[in-house]
Chain A
Amino acid sequence: MQLELREIKILDVRFGESTKVQDNILYVAQDEIRDLLLGDERISNVQVDLARPGESVRIIPVKDVVEPRAKLEGGEAFPGMDGKICDAGEGVTVRLAGAAVVTTGPIVGFQEGIIDMSGPLAQYTPFAHLNNVVLSIEKTDGTSPHEHEEALRIGGIKAAHFIAKKALECAPDDVVFYNWESIWKKALMYPDLPKVAYVYQCMSQGLLHDTYFYGKDSKKMLPTLVSPLSVFDGAIVSGNCVSAGSKTTTYHHQNNAVIKELFKRDGKELNFIGAVASPLMTTLADKYRNTALTARLVEMLGADGAVQSQEGFGNPTADLMMICSALEKKGIRTVLISNEDAGVDGKSEPLPDTSESADAMVSTGNSNATIELPPMDKVIGDLESLERLTGGCAGCIHEDGSLTIEIHGILGSHNLQGTSKLQAVTV
């Protein structure tokens, strides 16, 4: 199995008569994007804005961020979500690095986040550093919240897919080849290196907390082996409204930081032996079942160690701890990645669950820490909604447009796949 990932660097985004990429500049035709999305009868209006790094622009409330990707030949970049359902993770994929489609608008729940393109917030989110095509999507009257979520989810992916398809002929700035082998062959390739598996926990709690695997709702699946290459091809897509700081957006899945890191060290320091996608679910029975099956799959891969990533916080911390205990019990050394809710003053116990086995944890930051944000010249979306989002509260928007929020409201601020550099330490 080989995936050739062709990277086209996007240095700027502008409006144009037709959507295309020329000289590393993404041109977006508003009408084309609007027409594409208005094909969904659940969508009544789409406004297209552009937001570039360094601009005084605030986007809120953001539901999802998607990196434009498309297949050069064969297959689909988002199998099961846009286009046909087929195998992913082989052939040639084109990605527009440095660009993204951002979906916003009057949103389903109060579970979306904020992005500032400049100022102190920019350091907390990868999306401040991208050339963003921002879609403010309004629903048709009578569209139910769950239909609304689906329309936005698919709308963002369709737009990203459409944009990338317009760039298939561009000469890539970089080409990366990712190879994957059968387990037995992989095991023999680097017999002296420790075999490391990735436990890829995905939010699957229902009630708008769902991830989609090949277009299928992940709460309807059992833990399963997943080709890391297919993740780069949009096999896993965000459909959830988890609080912004700990939300794994589609962009995070497409650029999964743990998978990329394991590939980087594969054959040098470790032998990347496989990835197990494991749904994070609400009932105790499901937690027991998924723990048993996930740990068994990792054991069957012959892994010596595992990195575990998570999504959300609170309830999913139980899954994180249960799987960690099960792996360690089997002698599989485990490191897990988690954010913390240590309180605004940083003095609280940081996690709602624990396990003696969890002796190697990576912190992605205290989500309760507050940040002061200056006003921005332009707001895309609805600033008032901040008061009802995680991280916001009554009175968090000041008269001059400046904000005081907990960093939990910032999209991707403490991503639990370890994408960011944020970390909490004890002082």
Chain B
Amino acid sequence: MKKAVFYTNQFFGQIGGEEHAGVPPFVKEGCIGPANLFNETLEGEIAATIVCGDNYYAENMDEVREFICGEVEKLKPDLFIAGPAFNAGRFGVACGDICAAVEERFAIPAVTGMNEENPGKDMYKAKTCIVEVGRSAAGMKKAAAAMTRVANKLLRGEALGLPSEDGYFPRGIRVNIFSEKTGAERAVDMLLAKLGGMPYQTEIPLPEYQPVTPAPGVIDLKSAKVALLTSGGIVPAGNPDRLPAATAKFYKMYSIKDLDSLKSGDFTSVHAGYDPVYVNEDPNRLAPLDLLRNLEKAGEIGELYEYLTTTTGNSTSVADATRMGREIAKSLKESGISAAILTSS
């Protein structure tokens, strides 16, 4: 039989109200309080219930997390259930925190329940499965039913349906499905709704980018150490590190220390987003090492950095691009670079 571990707070754990919110965590075999309700329809057994006071969790998060993870380690459950926390803020944060930690550390599914307005929802919805429940414990029966339904799916190893179907808050992960209608049909449906003043729902939420503040201009180029970067996919012949043609998740730095230019045949572009014919004829067209070397010799720039930084900027996700950008910037700063030229394709 599949095994689950249940987490709840001092109130539902039948210790008492707010005056007992400082109770440290303890574990008890079998079910306490609402765990009984879950156990009725769960396709598995709640082997133990862990209880902790809301204040104690909030004030000792690292310690409580370690304690519970230690118990999970020993009990080896197939599933972790916490809450439901309804609209209780501290309890919600505790449920979200422990479910996220258990999911991440033990790679087992976890499920909790919160109200739309619980501050724990936005903090943890990306990291664990939070089923939408009512505002207060009056909705316990309904909440337990909704959470158990999801829990049973997870126990069976089934993929969850859409958030609207299975009643959980979207984790913010884009997954592909096959719609009943083609994109063109849906586009015309959406336009007719928009024209008719009817409600419509965009299928791609508007992206929210983190604004990037440009670095101040370089005051004295003559003393600047300049780095050359490209997202046009230039690599040494033979592509030794097998940089992909698109959706690259890494960048490479290749030595250009002893080179005055990127010679055709020695360097090539692997980028699949443009025709590389002209770049392969003369790679300096994409990464102008020849010109920068001349400027260096003429004293127009202080020094050219000895590595060419390169990746393929093609169908790259914003997240991967942001991460690589941060890593590259950090590495360049550590190397004392004060200016960089990044060419695209």
- Interface residues, chain A, with chain B CB atoms under 8 Å away: 108-111, 123, 144-146, 194, 196, 205-209, 241, 243, 257-258, 260-262, 265, 269-270, 304-307, 309, 313-314, 333-338, 340-352, 354, 356, 358-369, 387-395, 406-408, 415-427
A353 closest partner in B (C-beta): B207
Q: Contact between A194 and B195 (Cβ–Cβ < 8 Å)? A: yes
A395 closest partner in B (C-beta): B242
Report the bound CA distance from A144 to B318 in whole Å. 35
Q: Which of B184-222 contact A (CB under 8 A)?
A: 184-188, 190-192, 194-196, 200, 202-209
- Distance from A106 Cβ to chain B, minimum over Cβ atoms (Å): 15
4 closest A-B pairs by CB:
A418-B183, A348-B319, A418-B184, A394-B242
Among the stretches B44-52, B81-89, B137-145, B268-276, the one at the interface with A is B268-276
Indicate whether A366 sits within 8 Å of B174 (C-beta atoms), given known contacts A314-B273, A352-B318, A406-B247: yes
CB neighbours (8 Å) of B177 from chain A are: 422-425
Q: Contact between A110 and B183 (Cβ–Cβ < 8 Å)? A: no
- Distance from B56 Cβ to chain A, minimum over Cβ atoms (Å): 33
Indicate whether A390 sits within 8 Å of B273 (C-beta atoms), given known contacts A258-B184, A427-B162: yes
- Distance from B238 Cβ to chain A, minimum over Cβ atoms (Å): 12
Q: Contact between B246 and A391 (Cβ–Cβ < 8 Å)? A: yes
Q: Contact between B205 and A426 (Cβ–Cβ < 8 Å)? A: yes
Report the bound CA distance from A416 to B184 in whole Å. 9
B175 within 8 A of A: yes
Q: Contact between A359 and B275 (Cβ–Cβ < 8 Å)? A: no
Report the bound CA distance from A424 to B205 in whole Å. 11
The CB with the most chain B CB atoms within 10 A, among A146, A265, A349, is that of A349
Report the bound CA distance from A388 to B249 in whole Å. 15
Partner of B272, one of A243, A305, A395, A420: A243
Indicate whether A347 sits within 8 Å of B175 (C-beta atoms), given known contacts A243-B246, A354-B206: no
Extra A-B contacts (7), CB below 8 Å, given A361-B203, A389-B246: A207-B275, A314-B273, A341-B316, A363-B183, A365-B176, A421-B183, A422-B176
CB neighbours (8 Å) of A334 from chain B are: 191
CB neighbours (8 Å) of B176 from chain A are: 365-366, 369, 407, 422-424
Q: CB-defined interface of B303-345 with A at 8 Å, one 1/0 digit per residue?
A: 0000000000011111110000000000000000000000000
Q: List 8 A-B contacts (CB under 8 A).
A: A207-B277, A257-B184, A262-B188, A346-B174, A354-B209, A363-B183, A366-B176, A426-B175
Q: Contact between B314 and A335 (Cβ–Cβ < 8 Å)? A: no
Report the bound CA distance from A85 to B275 in whole Å. 28
CB neighbours (8 Å) of B205 from chain A are: 426
Q: Which of B159-186 contact A (CB under 8 A)?
A: 160, 162-163, 170-186
B27 within 8 A of A: no
Q: Contact between A427 and B170 (Cβ–Cβ < 8 Å)? A: yes
CB neighbours (8 Å) of A335 from chain B are: 187-188, 190-191, 194
B245 within 8 A of A: yes
Partner of A305, one of B194, B273, B276, B278: B194
Q: Contact between A423 and B185 (Cβ–Cβ < 8 Å)? A: no
CB neighbours (8 Å) of B186 from chain A are: 362, 418, 423
Report the bound CA distance from A360 to B188 in whole Å. 11
- Distance from B292 Cβ to chain A, minimum over Cβ atoms (Å): 24
Indicate whether A343 sits within 8 Å of B274 (C-beta atoms), given known contacts A305-B194, A424-B203: no
Indicate whether A314 sits within 8 Å of B314 (C-beta atoms), given known contacts A408-B246, A420-B182, A426-B174: yes
B119 within 8 A of A: no
Partner of A427, one of B160, B196, B278: B160
CB neighbours (8 Å) of A260 from chain B are: 184
Partner of B315, one of A262, A333, A341, A364: A341
Q: Contact between A423 and B206 (Cβ–Cβ < 8 Å)? A: no
CB neighbours (8 Å) of B173 from chain A are: 345-347, 426-427
- Distance from A6 Cβ to chain B, minimum over Cβ atoms (Å): 23
Q: CB-defined interface of B52-93 with A at 8 Å, one 1/0 digit per residue?
A: 000000000000000000000000000000000000000000
- Distance from A350 Cβ to chain B, minimum over Cβ atoms (Å): 6
CB neighbours (8 Å) of B270 from chain A are: 110, 388
Q: Contact between A305 and B195 (Cβ–Cβ < 8 Å)? A: yes
Q: Contact between B203 and A209 (Cβ–Cβ < 8 Å)? A: no
Q: Which of B14-33 contact A (CB under 8 A)?
A: none
Q: Contact between B275 and A241 (Cβ–Cβ < 8 Å)? A: yes
- Distance from B281 Cβ to chain A, minimum over Cβ atoms (Å): 11
B244 within 8 A of A: yes
Q: Contact between B179 and A368 (Cβ–Cβ < 8 Å)? A: no
Q: Contact between B204 and A314 (Cβ–Cβ < 8 Å)? A: no
Partner of A421, one of B163, B179, B244: B179
CB neighbours (8 Å) of B276 from chain A are: 109
- Distance from A382 Cβ to chain B, minimum over Cβ atoms (Å): 15
CB neighbours (8 Å) of A391 from chain B are: 246-247
B200 closest partner in A (C-beta): A360
Report the bound CA distance from A29 to B207 in whole Å. 52
Indicate whether A207 sits within 8 Å of B206 (C-beta atoms), given known contacts A243-B315, A388-B272, A424-B176: no
Report the bound CA distance from A314 to B345 in whole Å. 11
Report the bound CA distance from A73 to B207 in whole Å. 51
Report the bound CA distance from A269 to B244 in whole Å. 46
CB neighbours (8 Å) of A348 from chain B are: 317-320
CB neighbours (8 Å) of A269 from chain B are: 192
- Distance from B125 Cβ to chain A, minimum over Cβ atoms (Å): 11
Report the bound CA distance from A334 to B200 in whole Å. 12
Q: Contact between B204 and A363 (Cβ–Cβ < 8 Å)? A: yes
CB neighbours (8 Å) of A415 from chain B are: 183
A417 closest partner in B (C-beta): B184
Q: Contact between A145 and B195 (Cβ–Cβ < 8 Å)? A: no
CB neighbours (8 Å) of B179 from chain A are: 421-423
CB neighbours (8 Å) of B275 from chain A are: 108-109, 145-146, 206-209, 241
